[in-house]
A and B are shown apart, each in its own frame.
Chain A
């Protein structure tokens, strides 16, 4: 609790650079000893410029980042902060040359934009609902709903694998399309069910063939319990066909906009 902004020692030393996690209001503090990315992990510091602050730590530019520990460190710092204060999360891997670059080129030059964005996030956090179909259950569902699939399955069964390749592809495509349709339907159903509990939502693209839904919600802190109850009730309804998870509170990764995105490189 007694943390203070520390001046970096030896700003020009070696291959040190400054890793930036996120941007927050200037009146925050961080517990001493909090560690971030890198091996060994750097200590997280607060760099301030007026009513804005950034969470940073020193990194060695000669060492690559991206081990699971780095990824966890980045997200855990942001998420644990987001539970208490508004924070604008930066994408993993944001590195600048010095603290002065953070205070000047980052915080100073974009002050109004960041302040406005932080105000939008005041009292809110992100929650993600992920659903995964129970494979057997969802396939049986499709088989019972679409006669073609059962016929194809009977044709394929016991036959030579190479000889039935086209039939297999045909069957698989019907199944894949059916699961896609179910995903859209169940995603809508979830969105409708929680509509009263959330301020905004973003449907994320599926990352697995059997994803049932992957939606990010921006939620008022005061509505978080209601959201949890609604999702728990749905999880119970869908018990046999979808494994449902509620993840949060998280930093608002899906609800921060980069005004002027850099081209992909």
Chain B
């Protein structure tokens, strides 16, 4: 016999949609900070919300005080499951660090408007190739780009979230951007 359904199905859907809109970015941020592979991260996020939807469909949502905390707990569980089935084969590419002066120069360069970037971003083939290139670099680089650019996190906060040094974050970020400038003629 199936579990009792609390409330109408439509109400659950409305509740789910509202919570999803309110939490999908924070849940994504949490998941990406734990899992650097974006495809795996997307699977985990989907699993989280699938579990959540199943839960509220079967048992209602009246007892859930903080949906975000509830979802983050599910995400923790899903991330643990993910890591338990995964070999520890993270490769961190080595590179020589930029000097402080070089970093300042790169940061300054990044703020300058460039017409060509608008052309590139509007060409979905090229843009997707550039995105994939970032994600193929290594997982930490993908995490840094996502948390900094998609989640608007400061580099200091990204370093804390990923438990790495700020200099590592900056070097990964700037080195990848410089590499892409040459590779994709940005």
Partners in one complex: no
